[in-house]
Amino acid sequence: MRHDMSGNSLIKIAQGVQRKGNRLLNGNTGGEITLSGKASNELLDLLEEGEEVNGLKSIYDDAVVDLINKLVYQGYLETDKERFFTSTGSPYLVNTMETNFFDFQRGNLGFDVDGNTRTIGLIGINSFSSSPTHFISFDSVSKIRQASSNATGLDISAEGTIKNTCGRFSEELNGILVKDYGDLEITIDQNLMENRLINLESDIFRNGRVTPLFIGGDHATTFYFIQGLLENVSDNIQILQLDAHMDTGNNRWGMVEHGSFVRTLANSSKVKKIVQLGVRGTYNINESKGLDGKVVQTTIDNLEKILEKDIPVYLTIDADAFDPSVIGAVSYPVLGGLGLTDFDNIALKLLSYNVVAADFVEFNGQYDSKNLIYSTAAAQVILGEIAILGGER
C-alpha cells in the first residue's frame, strides 16, 4: 500500500509512538524500528516537529521518501490527511493477545508477511457484524483461545513447530510451523473495518509466506477476505463452504451481510464455483435463483467429484455447519448437522488440495457453557483446519 504523498501534507511521528534516539517505539502496535545512517537523527528531528512532504522531497532522495511512506504504513508516522487509525497497514493492527491459540508462539505479522519462512497464521476477528440485527459477543474469540490452550496439549518446539502429536491428525500436524498473530483491531466505522479486512488478506497474499486462518466474526468477513485474496491472484479460485445455510439472500442496508455474501461472491468472474456442504432445513426457493450454476451443494462422499484438484481452494466454516450437540454456540442452530468425525473425513480429503486460506466464523460465545464445551469443540475444528492448511501444496 502506498499513501498519497503527492500533495503537501504534513508528516510527523504518530500519536502513541515514542522516540528514543534513532529508535521509534510504537505503543499502538507494540513494534519498534531503528533507523540507521548518519542522517537518521536529523530526519527524526524534522518528523518530531512535523515536516511538509514537499520539504522532505527537496531534502531527501526517493529511497528516503519510500522509507517515510513505509513508516506511515507501519504506523510510526502519520499525516494530517491520514491518521494512524486509517493509514496504518492491517498487518500492523493485529495485536497479540495474552492467551495464545493452542499455546502457539506469538508472531509479528508485519514482519512475517515479508519473511522467507512459510507459516500458518492464526488471526482473531472479534465481533465484526455485518447486520444491525445480528450480534456476536465480544468474548467469542477469547473463549476459543482459552479452550484451545486448556484442552489440546500440543507439544510445540522451540522453533514453533508442532511435534510429538498423538490423536487426531497427528501425522498431518507434526512439523507444521504455526504462529498466533493476535486479534485485528476493531473499529465501529463499518467502511473502515471492511477495508481493513480486505487489506489484511491482500497484504498477507502479496508475498504468500503466511497462510492465514481467520477465527471469529460473522460470515460476511469471508467476503472481505476473499476480496483481498482475489486482488492477488490471476486465475480462478473455488470456495468450499461448510454451513447450515446457503447465505444466498439479497443485500440489505447497502452492505454485504452474513446471509448474502455467497450471492455477492458468485458474481465475481474469478470465483469459478462455490461448493456447499452441510446445508439443511428449509429455505426460500428464491435464494437459489440467479446464481448461474456457480453454487453447488454436495455430500462428504461426493466432495472429491465436485471440488477440482487444480484450482486453489478457500475453505470457510460456519460453526452452525455442525450439529448443535457438537457446537451449539451459534445464533441460528439447525438440527442434523455435522459431527467431528464427519469433519475429520472432510479434512482428510482436503489434504491433497491446494487450500490457500481458511476461516472459522459465526461462533457466538454468549451461548457457550461455563466449562466452554462448545469452544473446546470449535478448537478441535480449527486444529483440523491447521492440518488442512499444512497439507500438500
3-class secondary-structure state, position 302:
coil
User: How much is the pLDDT for 3?
Assistant: 47
What are phi and psi for residue 27, nearest 5 degrees? -70, -15
> First vs last Cα of the chain: how many Å apart?
28
What are phi and psi for residue 104, nearest 5 degrees? -65, 160
Tell me the CB-side half-sphere exposure of residue 383, using CA atoms within 13 A.
Answer: 31
User: How much is the pLDDT for 301?
Assistant: 97
User: How much is the pLDDT for 351?
Assistant: 96
Asked whether the CA dihedral 244, 250, 252, 258 is positive or negative, the reply is: positive
User: How much is the pLDDT for 2?
Assistant: 45
The amino acid that residue 46 corresponds to is L
User: How much is the pLDDT for 193?
Assistant: 76
Enter the C-alpha cell of residue 115: 519473511
Tell me the CB-side half-sphere exposure of residue 67, using CA atoms within 13 A.
Answer: 17
Distance between CA atoms of residues 95 and 93, nearest Å: 6
User: How much is the pLDDT for 6?
Assistant: 52
Each residue's pLDDT expressed in tens, for the chain with a length of 393 residues: 444 455 568 888 888 889 999 889 887 666 788 888 767 888 999 999 888 888 888 888 888 887 887 788 777 888 776 554 555 666 766 777 678 999 999 988 888 888 888 999 999 998 656 555 567 888 899 999 999 988 667 889 999 999 877 778 888 999 999 999 988 877 666 777 777 788 888 888 888 899 999 999 888 889 889 988 998 888 899 999 999 998 776 665 566 776 668 888 988 899 999 999 999 976 665 666 656 679 999 999 999 999 999 999 999 999 999 999 999 999 999 999 999 999 999 999 999 999 999 999 999 999 999 999 999 999 999 999 999 999 864
Distance between CA atoms of residues 311 and 353, nearest Å: 8
Residues 6 or more apart whose CB falls under 8 angstroms from that of 125 comprise: 141, 183, 184, 197, 214, 215, 216, 217, 221, 361
What element of type H or E holds 261?
helix 261-266
Residue 279 sits at the vertex; the CA angle it makes with 170 and 101, to the nearest 5 degrees, is 35
3-class secondary-structure state, position 23:
strand
Distance between CA atoms of residues 167 and 343, nearest Å: 15
Distance between CA atoms of residues 92 and 27, nearest Å: 12
- Alpha-carbon distances of 349 from 161, 297, 301, 352, 382, rounded to whole Å: 23, 17, 10, 7, 16
Domains and CATH numbers, the chain: 10-88 (3.90.930), 92-389 (3.40.800.10)
User: How much is the pLDDT for 284?
Assistant: 60
How long, in residues, is the chain?
393
